[in-house]
Amino acid sequence: MANFATNYMGLSLKNPIVAGSSGLTNSVKQIQQLEEAGVGAVVLKSLFEEQISIDTNSVMNTGNEQNTYPEAEDYIQNYTRMNSISKYLELVKEAKKAVDIPVIASVNCVNASDWSNFAKEIEAAGADALELNIYELPVDRNVSADSYDKKYYDIVRMVKRKVKIPIAVKIGSNFSNPVRVVDQIHANGASSVVLFNKFYTPDFDLEKLEFTSADVMSTPLDIYPGLRWTGIIKGKLPKAQIAASTGIHDGDGVIKQLLAGAQVTQICSTLYLNGFDVVKGMLTELESFMKKWSFENIEDFRGRMSYRNIDSPAIYERSQFMKYYSNKK
């Protein structure tokens, strides 16, 4: 029997498949079902920074009053107002009582502001770790990419000062230099990064000439940006821990991300689309793969195909991509 045991941010997981943050991780019942289905850990639905500020009546004093994360607005209007932060802490406590797998809380944030005191309460409620889902759309022509990046580091430093539990930072893929950003996120105290979040994306309804939302679910084809950057970043920053996210729908997706160097894989859309039993199938595929290659532990092959461990790392880079298209008839 293959050994799937995985250490993620110092936490012991029975396997590297983590249920990512979503509506499926917002109730104790579903968290129990996810544990029964076989996941190694669970990331709770995010609580939004704005919600914490509203509920604690501590208005953010950052000079940036505007909400820059569209999904947050939607979330606040339709759902979050009904759910107080005390309910969130209750969810952490109850989930911890109900399951043996690690429970990772999640906060969506855009600022290093007062909300970070709440991180202490999350820790006190028993969360094993905290995932910070940070996103600010960079649309200000007067603000440099460095200044946008610095906000991420400020948030991590601020939260790190408040809690002892490990912190993961979930980011999008739109950075000028993802390697440096991940390096700096770790240097400022995070134990892991989650590559990458998939954000709410506007679409146009051509019949009504109105805005609509693009499909929130990923497809297996969405794995590639994350696969490339996991491979590159693990090669360049061997000590960085990476939780791969987006487009992992089956065992092959899990195996590929582990080969690229991911510490764990997070799944979400496939749970919605294929049901929780998909986890069993993924574990079976992982087991067959390890048997076929005579790997006893995940460490026997983790990162084997990362940028550092292959003969031609250029394969990860753009030039190879152009060559492919120029040769294509």
Ligand X SMILES: Cc1cc2nc3c(=O)[nH]c(=O)nc-3n(C[C@H](O)[C@H](O)[C@H](O)COP(=O)(O)O)c2cc1C
9-17, 18-26, 119-127, 290-298 -> range binding ligand X (CB under 6 A)? 18-26
Residues 6+ apart with CB under 8 A from 95: 28, 31, 42, 44, 103
Structure tokens given for 191: 């134990």
Taking the least distance from each CB to ligand X, the nearer of 67 and 309 is 67
Taking the least distance from each CB to ligand X, the nearer of 102 and 295 is 102
From candidates 132, 155, 268, 286, binder to ligand X by CB under 6 A: 268
From candidates 269, 302, 307, 316, binder to ligand X by CB under 6 A: 269
**What 3 state SS string does 2-26 have?**
CECCEEECCEEECCCEEECCCHHHC
> x/- site string to ligand X, residues 66 to 105, per CB under 6 A?
----------------------------------------
Taking the least distance from each CB to ligand X, the nearer of 60 and 216 is 216
CA 244 to chain centre: 7
From candidates 72, 109, 163, 267, binder to ligand X by CB under 6 A: 267
Q: How many CB atoms lie within 10 A of CB 97?
A: 10
Taking the least distance from each CB to ligand X, the nearer of 99 and 168 is 168
Taking the least distance from each CB to ligand X, the nearer of 188 and 257 is 257
From candidates 80, 197, 263, 306, binder to ligand X by CB under 6 A: 197
Q: In the bound complex, what is the minimum distance in angstroms from residue 129's beta carbon to ligand X?
A: 13
> x/- site string to ligand X, residues 38 to 57, per CB under 6 A?
-------xx-----------
Q: In the bound complex, what is the minimum distance in angstroms from residue 11's beta carbon to ligand X?
A: 18
Is the distance from CB of 250 to CB of 286 less than 8 angstroms?
A: no
Q: In the bound complex, what is the minimum distance in angstroms from residue 308's beta carbon to ligand X?
A: 26
From candidates 5, 216, 310, 315, binder to ligand X by CB under 6 A: 216
Taking the least distance from each CB to ligand X, the nearer of 267 and 305 is 267
Q: In the bound complex, what is the minimum distance in angstroms from residue 267's beta carbon to ligand X?
A: 5
265 part of the interface to ligand X, by CB under 6 A? no
CA 325 to chain centre: 32
CA distances to 49, 61, 73 from 262, rounded to whole Å, are: 28, 37, 32
Taking the least distance from each CB to ligand X, the nearer of 106 and 116 is 106
Sign of dihedral through CA atoms 241, 247, 249, 250?
negative
Question: Which residue reads 């930072």 in tokens?
Answer: 169
Q: In the bound complex, what is the minimum distance in angstroms from residue 206's beta carbon to ligand X?
A: 24
Q: How many residues does the chain have?
A: 329
From candidates 14, 151, 160, 170, binder to ligand X by CB under 6 A: 170
Q: In the bound complex, what is the minimum distance in angstroms from residue 185's beta carbon to ligand X?
A: 15
Q: Provide the binding-site residues for ligand X, judged by CB under 6 A.
A: 20-23, 45-46, 106, 108, 133, 170, 197-198, 216-218, 222, 245-248, 267-270
